[in-house]
Amino acid sequence: MRVLFLGDIVGRTARNDVIEQLPLLRDELALDFIVVNCENAAGGFGITPKICDALFAAGADVLTTGNHVWDKKEIIDYIASEPRLLRPLNMAEGTPGKGIVQVTNAAGKRLVAVNLMTNLFMAVNDPVFPALNDALVRNKLGRDADFILIDVHGEATSEKMALGSLC
């Protein structure tokens, strides 16, 4: 399976380049899925519904975010209704949106994308380790997905490395 993950789009120039290049990359690389971290695509801070729609129209299958997801308030209603735009899974219960999604392409291949945020040096969220463990217990490679992509947003490399040991 061929999956392209792009991150982190920061600002207008990068955003426009990604939107222009995604269709070409999908064809040239024979991609099954494209996942893009977009949390800073709106002028370097946040994401808007219009930008999400443009990224989806260009060929992104899933959009992930991080701690800047709420920088543009107009995203709140959009993220609640668009399951392919993820916010970190381990944000507090009741936070709009989802942190995990399964998408299926035209060939029937299934991708599960998980978006997480670490705890060290970041705003307070639910503990990341149980959140990842639960996501992997509920979504098994082969049974539920042909590919599982985990986008970990955080500051401490040590915490990211420790999360990798769970996979």
- Please write the tens of the pLDDT for every residue from 28-65: 999 999 999 999 999 999 999 999 999 999 999 999 99
3-164 belongs to CATH 3.60.21.10: yes
Q: Which of 45, 107, 54 is nearest to 85 (CA)?
A: 54
**Residue 120, φ and ψ in degrees, nearest 5:** -70, 125
**What gap in Å lies between CA 115 and CA 101, rounded to an integer?**
9
Active-site residue flag, 68:
yes
**In which band, very low, low, confident or very high, does the pLDDT at 121 lie, cut at 50, 70 and 90?**
confident
Q: How far is CA 165 from CA 6, 55, 90, 116, 151, in A?
A: 23, 32, 18, 15, 14
pTM, 2 dp: 0.96
Out of 15, 26, 68, 87, the active site residue is 68
